A and B are shown apart, each in its own frame.
Chain A
Amino acid sequence: MVKFLVGRLAQAVAVVFGVMVLTFLIARLVPGDPAIAYAGPKATPAELAAARRQFGLDDPPPQQLLRYLGGVLRGDWGTSLHTKAPVLDDLVRVVPTTLVLVTAAIVVAVLVGVPLGIFAARSQGRLGDVVAKVVAILSVSFPVFWLALLLQLLFFSRLGWFPVAGQYDPALDATSPLFTVVKVPLVDALLTGNWPVLLSGLHHLALPVATLAAYPVGACAMVTRAAMLDNLAEEHVRMVRALGFSERSVLTRFALRPSLSPILSIVALVFAYSLTNSFIVESVFNWPGLGSYAIDSIQSLDVPAILGVTLFVALIYVALNLLVDLCQAYVDPRVRS
């Protein structure tokens, strides 16, 4: 196990190094002179030369790469051209709000997608299976931005059931003022027992989470179905069926439990995928998190911020994959060899 752990960690470190090199290379693709972006379009040649010296743009590329790597490791992720603040500070500020959104979507996906997959596997080859499969395939085929707009049109404009933007009703600030703890309204409301704001927050969460959960629901359902069918076809399932175990126990103990490993993998994958999809969901629902920050930086061509977001999400992705591998190795000794 220790050998596996060390090997897997070394691999993750190598990938992280590669990720940083790749973001550095993308930054170099930016057309035009980065010095102009820093010094402004009206800068004199002397000012441009000064900016170039200050950012070391005259140095040979390998030296620039080393300086970039050193900066990233020390927590210097550059300064956003848009907010004028250090990119890492911006990220720390916006990420918690997004984590609430993405986590809620993943919880919904597991609660809906996994039972849907089990249902499909149980009714394999019958109508129920086909219907479940169609639902799963459609939900991974929705363009996220369009689903967000449709839900807004239907549930806000037409029916008026759900609010369209923001994290909670600002009118509540007068009647139930919110004490900030972690600066995420929903979590703060929960921690301080502010029920009106909590309810309003959940109400505001409904549409963005429904949009964000569509893809993970379908993906979880398809993976669960496939894994369940694989396991149901195994000898040991035929054996326990012959021994007269109840169908319920066959499904949960002998088919679902060995399917947990692929389900765990897909959950980690759709988590990272949803972080990127939050770009669109947050901008449509005006949710002030990582996604809105990313969209703002894309629209203002704020290259340090774009690269900061890219690097951050990629690092989370690498960390999640590592975590899943370690969990699987812990549960299943075959993975370790």
Chain B
Amino acid sequence: MSRPTASRPARGRLTARLHRLQRQPLLTIGLVMATIMVATGLLAPWLAPFPADAISATHPSAALLPPSSEHWFGTDGIGRDILSRVLYGSRISLAIALFVVTVAGVVGLTVGLVAGYVGGKADALLMRVTDVFLAFPALLLAVALAAVLTPSASHAAVAISVTWWPWYARLARAQAASIRTQGYADAARVIGAGWVRQLARHVLPNAATSVFVQMSLDAAGIILTAATLSYLGLGAQDPSPEWGLMVSQGQGMATTAWWVVTFPGLAILLLAAAFNFIGDGLQTVLDPKRGHR
């Protein structure tokens, strides 16, 4: 319950934050899990026992082998090593998540900052457009968009980006609107700084923190949405080692070969959980008002 307070003046803000970080076991677990999964994805070419299986190799004679010392996660319906494919698969999920938070983040921040800081008619118009996008559940709009585009991992990423930017826009707008009333914003206006300079130098740095926290919280949702699109056949296509696609391909043989669907699905769960742990922990550490959580 006790929070770092004024009674410990020797502690700087950073130390106080580190202190809080220490007491967030879930944040630590999430960071460790995410680091391991990012590292194994980057090092997949060296770690994977059968790297060719993640690309185009097939071995029909070795189909549906159960987990063994040679194939830790077993093999799939056309004899590909599932461990190798799962290791490579994290690259796809992480790349999509990175693409979506970057594109949606840049678009959302721009729209939100302009709306919140400029205000007036621009604000009203931009926020009504945002409302329309927010009227669709993210997965639904992504499904509709991905369905009318030709299915591929990059189109899935674009479809998810289209559904994600309004959240950042709304968040950034609230921040910008409150910054607008601060003294330093007035000062910048008085000395004659232009809109672009005001936004870039004074509003963006102050609004970005909350958007960054939101991004790490969102990574989990993006990874789940991307996997769902692939599972539905609207994302990555064969022979891509995308996890959702692997589950979908193994679905028909799941009763006789449980490992075909279990390991790729577990990988999705662990990566999504890792980002959710991080997001939850970051919220607690960075938001002093909510520090008690």
Contact = CB atoms under 8 A, between A and B. Distances in A.
A226 interface: yes
Dominant secondary structure at the B interface = helix
A157 B293 contact: no
Interface stretch (B44-52, B98-106, B135-143, B173-181): B135-143
Contacts of B273: 137-138, 141
Interface string B254-293: 1100100110010011001100110010000000001011
A69 to B, nearest CB: 14
Highest count of chain A CB atoms <10 Å: which of B150, B234, B293: B293
A31 B220 CA distance: 31
A14 B127 CA distance: 12
B272 A19 contact: no
B140 A313 contact: yes
B217 to A, nearest CB: 11
A301 interface: yes
Interface stretch (A178-186, A257-265, A275-283): A275-283
Interface stretch (B60-68, B73-81, B224-232): B224-232
A21 B131 CA distance: 13
B224 A22 contact: no
A15 B228 contact: no
Nearest to B283: A226
Interface in B147-170: 147-150
B255 A153 contact: yes
Interface stretch (A89-97, A107-115, A143-151, A323-331): A143-151
Dominant secondary structure at the A interface = helix
Contact of A143 (B128, B132, B224, B290): B224
Contacts of B272: 141-143
B254 A317 contact: no
A106 interface: no
Contact of A314 (B140, B248, B280, B290): B140
A143 B228 contact: yes
26 contacts: A15-B135, A18-B128, A19-B135, A22-B136, A23-B144, A26-B148, A29-B148, A137-B273, A140-B220, A140-B276, A141-B272, A143-B228, A143-B247, A146-B261, A146-B269, A149-B261, A272-B137, A280-B232, A294-B143, A301-B147, A306-B148, A309-B140, A310-B136, A310-B141, A313-B140, A314-B137
Contact of A15 (B132, B247, B265): B132
A298 B143 contact: yes
Given A16-B135, A137-B273, A306-B147, 20 more contacts: A15-B135, A18-B135, A22-B133, A22-B136, A27-B148, A30-B148, A140-B276, A141-B220, A142-B272, A143-B224, A143-B272, A145-B231, A152-B254, A153-B261, A275-B137, A279-B143, A295-B232, A303-B148, A309-B140, A314-B136
A11 B254 CA distance: 48
Interface of B: 1, 25-26, 128-129, 131-133, 135-137, 139-141, 143-145, 147-150, 220, 224, 227-228, 231-234, 244, 247-248, 251, 254-255, 258, 261-262, 265, 268-269, 272-273, 276-277, 280, 290, 292-293
Nearest to B139: A276
Contact of B265 (A18, A134, A146, A309): A146
A54 interface: no
A145 B128 CA distance: 34
B141 A125 contact: no
Contacts of A153: 254-255, 258, 261
Nearest to A20: B132
Nearest to A138: B273
A298 B234 contact: yes
B228 A280 contact: yes
* 5 interchain residue pairs of minimum CB distance: A18-B132, A146-B265, A141-B273, A141-B272, A310-B144
Contacts of B128: 14-15, 18
A318 B135 contact: yes
B26 A137 contact: yes
Contacts of B232: 279-280, 295, 298
Interface residues of A, number: 58
A4 to B, nearest CB: 17
A2 B204 CA distance: 38
A307 interface: yes
Contacts of A26: 144-145, 148
A29 B149 contact: yes
Contacts of A277: 139
Interface in A260-298: 272-273, 275-277, 279-280, 294-295, 298
A145 B132 contact: no
B149 A314 contact: no
Nearest to A277: B139
A130 interface: yes
Contacts of A23: 144
Nearest to A28: B148
A236 to B, nearest CB: 17
A87 B52 CA distance: 46
Nearest to B274: A141
A19 B261 contact: no
A133 B280 contact: yes
A113 to B, nearest CB: 16
A242 interface: no
A118 interface: no
A19 B132 contact: yes
A318 B140 CA distance: 14
A246 interface: no
A171 interface: no
A306 B293 contact: no
Nearest to B262: A150
